[in-house]
Amino acid sequence: MVAGSSGEVAGTASPEKADVSSLKRPFRVLSLDGGGMRGIYTAAFLARLTDQFARIRGTTALDLGAGFDLITGTSTGAIVGCALAVGRPMQEVVSLYRDHGPKIFPHRITGKRSALFRAGRGSTYVRQGDKALREALTDVLGTRTMLDVFQRRNISLSIPAVLMSTHRAWVFKKTPRSGVRDDLYPLVDVCMATSAAPIYRSLAAIDDPNTVGGPKQVFADGGLWANNPIMVGLVDALTIAGPDQPIEIYSLGTCPRPEGDHLDEESAHRSMLDWSLGADVAPLSISAQEFAFDNMARLLANAMSDCGRSIRRVRFPNKAVPASMMPYLALDDTRPEAMDRLVHQAHTDADLTKSACDDRNNPEGAMISRLMNNLPAMPVSGVVWPTDDGRKG
């Protein structure tokens, strides 16, 4: 997705140069990055953009999740993605972060002293956060499983995590080609697994639905290897889509940090304490992965497009995040002013994206506009998929 000046759309030079494959229905992928509390930015951005298109189309709301064949999301991105997959409104997800964020992250790590204080409390805070997150997710996702989403909504899901018993990447997956291994995993458990960030949260100990009464499976955050899951989405799309079917990937970040660390030689000798007992490593890893995975996807998409396979991707944001946002981008920052700033930035970026959609010479904007104009409207009742207790969802 795009804000500001247009970026590159892989495999697309201009609308008039589109090949015959562009006339076929594209296989659409939504890829959502991890980023802790910055997930409120993702939800607010999508809420704002879809609301604008809904009003233009004269309807109350649009079912954004129904616009995608595959949704892949890591950590907080999986929470947003699974909510979309079951038809929950994004404003409800914004409220999830506002209402439950302070309980999910009850103690913010702000530097050496807070890290030492946190270490002295043992597992107290992560245990509290684990309970709060499960309760919040259950309110939104109920007891739905990966298979439920595929059968009811015809949406494939690919959610990265790490299986601790093997220290290997694991992707919770339900697609037409994925088999049955992950069919019965509840979405709540999947989201707990992919968002189990070491240091910040508990590891996720969940039931294996294929072994009733067996030992728990323990997972860590998928952001350890795929915080930007665009390559997961691209590989799955190539596996699922027809050989001549165009692929479109919509990749959304979480308002990443606008700058790195400018270090002198002496500052290079950092101790564990200088890294806040490891807490400062996570933002570094996230930033590096966002850049690396997006560029790998861009290069692969371009190479395959040169060989005749139509693959288009848009990445948001593709402009620098304002430096004024820097104090509000910590993964565990639940201060009201931090959430307010993230939501405000999301609205600004969504408005810029809508402007790009109105520019007929902007190929990224045209791609997003086609998606939005093809989305089904929410039912008049507001019920896409009733929850276990009969609430709208």
Among all residues, which ones are annotated catalytic?
75, 221
Cβ contact 257:36 at 8 Å: no
SS3 content of the chain, % helix, strand, coil (to 5): 50, 10, 40
For residue 227, the SS3 value is coil
Helix, strand, or coil (residue 31)? strand
- CA pair distance 101, 36, nearest whole angstrom: 9
Name residue, tokens 């027809």.
242
DSSP for 173-211, written as a single string: EESTTS-STTTT-BHHHHHHHHT--TTTS--EEE--TTS
Give the residue among 351, 288, 333, 279 at the shortest CA–CA distance from 33: 288
At residue 314, the 3 state secondary structure works out as: strand
Residues 6+ apart with CB under 8 A from 204: 130, 161, 189, 192, 193, 195, 196, 218, 219, 220
**Rounded to an integer, what is the distance from CA 181 to the centroid of its chain?**
23
Q: Between the CA of residue 135 and those of 99, 188, 216, 282, 323, what are the distances in Å? A: 12, 9, 19, 25, 35
Q: Give the DSSP letter of residue 25.
A: P
Tokens standing for residue 240:
């699922």
Query: Distance between CA atoms of 4 and 74, rounded to whole angstroms?
Result: 26
